[in-house]
């Protein structure tokens, strides 16, 4: 099976390019059973970027960065049944995708999933003997740095809400799943390592509040109207 992958990037220096390569290589090396089509949506428009892996398409939108807008642009290139939304500061372990697909085979209503980061999720109480922890709590069951979702779900919810330009994007996604009664689960045997906030460094200081804490107003306004 081929899985679509969307990765957002702002390659302002060589260390970000190296981080992108590490993420891409970990995805490609994680499976002997499945393949990946990787769409890398690049914020830096000052130069052309290419990657040595043959399954990477780089998209450089001619517009200002907007997290959900750029995800939606990436979605236009996704044709497969499953889409992996990934931060570029994430390293994938062997068999991560097989464990999530296995969880779906055991529960066909499980249409959205996140893998477990043993370091991060040690802060929460998750019994690793339980294969799937169901729920919609961000930073708990929903790990915004890595979400595998059925393409049909993204079609149903009309993609990602572009008023969330960065922060609270995962909170809105969680509430959207709940509103549409779509199951999400943390798959304990699917393993990743998230390098924590390496992807935040591209935000200009003048826009940091607007794209971070300031977006909680959008979340409250949207969901207070729906409830």
pLDDT tens-digit readout, 89-133:
999 999 999 999 999 999 999 999 999 998 887 767 788 889 999
169: left (phi over 0), alpha (psi -120 to 50) or beta: alpha
With residues binned 3-state (H G I as helix, E B as strand, rest as coil), the percentages for the chain, rounded to 5, are 35, 25, 40
Average pLDDT over the chain, rounded to an integer: 90
Q: What is the pLDDT of residue 218?
A: 77
- Cβ proximity of 33 and 3 under 8 Å: no
Q: What is the pLDDT of residue 125?
A: 75
Other C-beta atoms closer than 10 Å to the C-beta of 127 total 7
Answer yes or no: is pLDDT of 202 > 90: no
Looking up residue 89, the CATH number of its domain turns out to be 3.90.550.10
Short-list 186, 145, 187, CA closest to 169: 145
Overall number of domains in the chain: 1
Q: What is the pLDDT of residue 222?
A: 79
Answer yes or no: is pLDDT of 47 > 70: yes
Range of the domain at 124: 2-226
Q: What is the pLDDT of residue 214?
A: 56
C-alpha–C-alpha distance, residues 82 and 65, integer Å = 25
Q: What pTM does this model have?
A: 0.90
pLDDT tens-digit readout, 6-34:
999 999 899 999 999 999 999 999 999 99
Q: What is the pLDDT of residue 195?
A: 87
Phi, psi of 82 (to 5 degrees): -120, 145
C-alpha–C-alpha distance, residues 67 and 62, integer Å = 14
Lowest mean pLDDT among 36-45, 135-144, 198-207, 218-227: 198-207
First to last CA, the chain: 39
pLDDT-based confidence at residue 170 (cuts at 50, 70, 90): very high
User: What percent of the chain has pLDDT above 90?
Assistant: 75
């Amino acid at each position: 099976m081929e899985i679509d992958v969307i990765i957002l990037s702002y390659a302002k220096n060589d260390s970000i390019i190296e981080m992108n390569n590490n993420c891409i290589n970990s995805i490609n090396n994680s499976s002997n059973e499945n393949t990946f089509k990787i769409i890398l949506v690049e914020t830096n428009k000052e130069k052309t970027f290419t990657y040595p892996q043959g399954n990477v398409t780089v998209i450089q939108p001619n517009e200002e960065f907007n997290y959900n807008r750029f995800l939606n642009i990436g979605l236009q290139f996704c044709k497969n049944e499953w889409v992996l939304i990934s931060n570029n500061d994430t390293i994938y372990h062997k068999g991560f995708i097989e464990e999530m697909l296995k969880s779906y085979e055991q529960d066909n209503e499980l249409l959205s999933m996140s893998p477990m980061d043993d370091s991060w999720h040690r802060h929460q109480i998750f019994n690793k003997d339980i294969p799937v922890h169901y729920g919609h709590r961000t930073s708990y069951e929903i790990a915004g740095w890595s979400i595998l979702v059925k393409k049909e779900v993204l079609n149903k919810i009309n993609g990602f809400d572009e008023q969330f330009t960065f922060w609270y994007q995962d909170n809105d996604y969680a509430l959207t799943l709940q509103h549409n009664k779509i199951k999400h689960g943390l798959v304990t045997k699917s393993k990743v390592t998230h390098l924590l906030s390496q992807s935040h460094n591209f935000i200009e200081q003048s826009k940091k509040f607007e794209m971070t804490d300031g977006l909680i107003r959008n979340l409250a306004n949207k969901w207070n109207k729906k409830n």
